[in-house]
Structure 1
Amino acid sequence: MKIKKYLHSCLVFEQDGYKLLFDPGQFSFAEGRVTADMFADTDSIVITHIHPDHFDLDILKSILALNNAKIYTNKQVGEQLQKAGLPFSLIESGKHEIGPFILEAVPVTHEPLLDNPAPQMTAFVINNKVLHPVDTLSDELLAYKGIDVLLMVTMAPFANELKIAAFADKLQPRQVLPVHDGYARDFFIKQRYANYKRHFEKQGILFHEVLAIGEGIDVE
């Protein structure tokens, strides 16, 4: 299984020629560095929650114009898709097979934001190897302690590095792939990655400094 990052929390999981796209939101596409044609061969799309950095209807339509991808999401996002006439499959809890992937959907609570109601949000465990908490740092996910890969929020208005690192320290994954940093400049991202890498190296956790668009990791 390969995981490729396209800025912020826009990710492509690939296995056996099947491509599963997560959260093609505004922050990834804002500067034109990521474009819809990069996902022309996408087979399925998962939307974790309704926030615009994870879900944008126009962006989604531009991708769907290039393929026949199936959409998987929760009820709150689904209501917006339904209004737009876009078909989708509901995926909110339990295990689901999507192509060669097994996704365990876990309902979670978004970290608090200033003057912003909490959206319905779904975290995922992919193939029993990758934990995608999305925008939560909740102890309820410690049930997956020791998982192979953590997709870790690295910057956010709802957290600082101490809180983020503390969550990962408790979870103790073997590897960390950083996400949720699409609003920062490259020089600053590099600096923060170096800081996280030093921190996790002390615990024997591999931190992947994934910087280039479309760069990623292989997960055995």
Structure 2
Amino acid sequence: MKISKYLHSCLLFELDGHKLLFDPGKFSFAEGLVTADMFTDVSSIVITHIHPDHFDLEILQSILAVANANLYTNSQVGEQLTKSGIPFTLIEEGEIKIGPFTLSAIPVTHEALLDNPIPQMTAFVINNKVLYPVDSLSDELIDYKGIELLLMVTMAPFATERGIAAFADKMQPRQILPVHDGYAKEFFIKQRYTNYKKHFEKQGIKFHEIYDVGASVNL
């Protein structure tokens, strides 16, 4: 299974010829470094919640215009899709098979934001190997302690570096792929990654320093 990062939390999973895309949001596409044409052969798209850095209707429509992809999401995002006449499959809790991928959907609580309502959000475990907690640092996910790969928020308005590291320390994954950093300058991202890498290496956890658009890891 190959996992490629297209800035922020836009992630492409590839296995046996099937391409599964998560959260193509505004932060990934804002500077033109990521475009819809990069995803012409995507088979499936999953949207985890309604926040614009994870879901943007125009960006999604531009991908659907070039890719014959099936769409999966929760009720709150689904309301917006229905208004635009975009078909989707509802996925909020439980297991679903998408091509060679088995996804376990987990309702989780988004971390609190200043003067902002809490959205409906769905975390995922992919093929029993990868945990995508999205924007949650909650003990709701402790059942997945020891997972092979954690897709870890590395910076956010709702979290501190210490709080993020504390969550990952609890989860004790074997590996970490950093996400949710699309609004920061590269020099700052590299600085933060250096800190995280040092912290997690002490525990024998591999921290993948992913910077370039489309850079990937393999499981």
- TM-score bracket for this pair, using the shorter chain length: over 0.9
The TM-score, its normalising length taken from structure 2, stands at: 1.00
> Are 2:151 and 1:147 equivalent residues in the alignment?
no
Per the alignment, in what secondary structure is the counterpart of residue 199 of structure 1? helix
Aligned to 1:35: 35
2-structure distance, mates of 1:110, 1:168: 16
Q: Deviations over 1:18-66 (max 9, x none)?
A: 0000000000000001000001110000000000000000000000000
Q: Deviations over 1:125-173 (max 9, x none)?
A: 0000000000000011010000000000000000010000000001000
1-structure distance, mates of 2:67, 2:154: 31
1:77-116, aligned counterparts within 5 Å?
77-116=77-116
2-structure distance, mates of 1:67, 1:162: 40
2-structure distance, mates of 1:67, 1:169: 38
Report the residue type matching 1:107 in the other structure.
Answer: P
Please list every run of at least 4 consecutive aligned residues from structure 1 whose deviation after the TM superposition is greater than 4 angstroms.
none
Aligned to 1:167: 167
RMSD: 0.4
Q: Percent of counterpart pairs with the same letter?
A: 75
Question: C-alpha displacement at 1:101, in angstroms?
Answer: 0.1
Gaps of 5+ in 1: none
The TM-score, its normalising length taken from structure 1, stands at: 0.99
Per the alignment, in what secondary structure is the counterpart of residue 176 of structure 1? strand
Report the residue type matching 2:159 in the other structure.
Answer: A
Aligned to 1:49: 49
Per the alignment, in what secondary structure is the counterpart of residue 212 of structure 2? coil
1-structure distance, mates of 2:194, 2:76: 37
2-structure distance, mates of 1:145, 1:79: 33
Q: Deviations over 1:159-194 (max 9, x none)?
A: 010000000001000000000000000111011101
Number of matched residues?
219
1:67-216, aligned counterparts within 5 Å?
67-216=67-216
2-structure distance, mates of 1:142, 1:120: 20
Q: Deviations over 1:75-115 (max 9, x none)?
A: 00000000000000000000000010000000000000000
Gaps of 5+ in 2: none
2-structure distance, mates of 1:63, 1:141: 31
